[in-house]
Amino acid sequence: MPRWLPRAMVLALALYACFQLGDWAFHQLIGLLTNILIAFFLALAIEPAVGRMAARGMRRGLATFLVFLGVVIAAVGFVVLLGSMLAGQIIEMVEDFPKYLDSVINWINQSFHTELSRVEVQDSLLRSDWLQRYVQNSATGVLDVSATVLGGLFRLLTIFLFSFYFAADGPRLRRALCSVLPPARQAEVLRAWEIAVDKTGGYLYSRGLMALISGFAHYILLVILDVPYAPALAVWVGLVSQFIPTIGTYLAGALPMLIAFTVNPWYALWVLIFVVIYQQFENYVLQPKLTAKTVDIHPAVAFGSVVAGTALMGAVGALIAIPAVATLQAFLGAYVKRYDVTDDPRVHGRHPRRRGLSGLVRLRRTLRHEPRQAARPPGTSGAPGTRPSGEDDS
C-alpha cells in the first residue's frame, strides 16, 4: 500500500463528513436564513426614509424606530378594518342563511317536484357523519393552529429585530464589510449596496403611491354604488393590486365584486368593468410614469420573477422577487459592456429584401425556359441552361 493512500482516505472521509455536517446545518438554519434575507430587504426598503431623517440630525436608532412604528400602525389598521368587514359580513350571512336555504329549497321543489323542507335538511346535516368527523378534526387541530400562530408571531418578531439592526447600524455594517476587502472591491460593494437601496426603496414607494391612487379610485366607485365597507375594500384593492403584479388587480377586485353582488348583482358587473378599465389606465398611463426611474422592468420579467420567487420561498419570495430582479438588472446594466446595435431590418422585426430579381420574375423565367429545354431534340449540343442564339428574355 502506498504511504499516501491512508492519508488520502482519511482526508476524503473528513471532507465527506464536513459536507454532511454543512448540509445538515444548512437545512436546520434555512428558516433563520430566510428571515435574515427578508429583514435585509425590509431594511433596504426603509433605508431612504431613515437616511433622510438621520441627515436632519436625528439619531438613526430613533429614526428607524419611528419608521417601524408607522409601518406597524398602518398594518394593524389595515388588519382591523379588514377584520371588521369580514366579521360583519359573516354575521350577516349567518343571520340570512335560513332565508337563502328556504329560497334554494323552494327552487328545488318547483323545479324537480320534490317536497323538501328546511327542518329535514337541517336534521340530515346535523346527523351526517362527515359533519361529525369535521368537528372532531377541528377540535384536534386547535393545538396545531395555536402553534402555527405562535410560530408566525415569533418569526415576525425575528424579522423586525434583524431589520431594525440592519437599518439602524447600516453604516457600521458597511464599514465592517468593506474592512475585509481591498479598495477596488470596496467601491464595487458600495455601488451594489447603493443600487439595492435605490431599487428596493423605489419599488416600495412607487407601489405605495400607486396603491394609494388605486384605493382612492375604487373607494369613489364603491361609495357611488353604496357598497358597504368601502374604506376597507379600497385598502384591500390598493395593496393586493400593487404588490401582486399582473394578476393582482383581478384578484383584489374579486372581494369587492362579491360584496357588491350581495347588494345588487348589477353592481358586481359595474365593479368588474371599472377594474378592467382601471387596469388598462394603470398599465399604459400611470405605471410607466411612476416606475420609469425606479424599477423599470418588463411585465413578463416581473411576473416570471414572482412565479420563481414563489416556487423557491413561497409568499416571501413573491414579495422580494421584483426588487431583487430590479437590483440585479441595474447591477448588470452598470457593469456589463454594451455595443451599438447594427442597422439591420431584422432587428426591427422586418424581413430584409433580397437583392436582384423579384420572385415573380424568377418564376416567369423558370416557367418559360422549362418547355423549351424539354422540346430540345436529343443530341443537341450545349450546356444545360444555355439557349440558342437569337432568344432573349423579353
- Cα–Cα dist 125/300, whole Å: 48
**Residue 315: band (very low, low, confident or very high) from pLDDT cuts 50, 70, 90:** low
Residue with cell 375594500: 233
- Cα–Cα dist 140/312, whole Å: 31
**Does 87 score more than 60 pLDDT?**
yes
Write the DSSP assignment of 143-175 as a string of letters.
HHHHHHHHHHHHHHHHHHHHHHHHHHTHHHHHH
Give the pLDDT confidence of 242-270 residue by residue, as tens digits: 777 666 777 888 888 887 887 787 888 89
- Cα–Cα dist 195/203, whole Å: 12
Integer distance in angstroms from the first to the last C-alpha of the chain? 92
Give the pLDDT confidence of 289-304 residue by residue, as tens digits: 776 666 666 667 777 7
Q: At 91, which amino acid appears?
A: I
**Does 121 score more than 80 pLDDT?**
no
The pLDDT value given to residue 1: 74
Give burial (CB, 10 Å; 0-12/13-18/19+) of 41.
buried
| HSE-up (13 A, CA, CB side) for residue 143 | 2
CA dihedral of 285, 269, 255, 300, whole degrees rounded to 10: -40
Q: What mean pLDDT, rounded, does the chain reach? A: 76
- Cα–Cα dist 305/318, whole Å: 8
Give the pLDDT confidence of 129-179 residue by residue, as tens digits: 666 666 566 555 555 666 677 777 888 888 888 888 888 888 888 888 888
Q: At 248, which amino acid appears?
A: G
**Does 337 score more than 90 pLDDT?**
no
List the one residue out of 214, 262, 212 whose CA is nearest residue 92: 262
Contacts of 32 (CB under 8 A, 6+ apart): 158
- Cα–Cα dist 199/240, whole Å: 20
**Does 326 score more than 90 pLDDT?**
no
The pLDDT value given to residue 394: 39
- The backbone region for 57, taken as left when phi is positive above 0, alpha when psi lies in -120 to 50, beta otherwise, is left
**Does 16 score more than 90 pLDDT?**
yes
Write down how long the chain is.
394
**What are the backbone dihedrals phi and psi of residue 315, each rounded to the nearest 5 degrees, phi first?**
-65, -30
**Does 70 score more than 50 pLDDT?**
yes
The pLDDT value given to residue 201: 75
**Does 90 score more than 80 pLDDT?**
no
More confident residue, 196 or 73: 73
Average pLDDT over residues 314-325: 73
The domain spans of the chain are 37-123+155-171, 195-336
Give the global pTM.
Answer: 0.60
CB-CB contact of 192 with 334 (8 Å): no
- Residue 240's H or E segment, with its range, is helix 230-243
Average pLDDT over residues 373-380: 51
- Cα–Cα dist 94/291, whole Å: 44
The pLDDT value given to residue 239: 82
**Alpha-carbon separation of residue 272 from 126, 132, 233, 252, 277 (angstroms):** 38, 39, 14, 11, 9
**Does 46 score more than 80 pLDDT?**
yes
The pLDDT value given to residue 365: 65
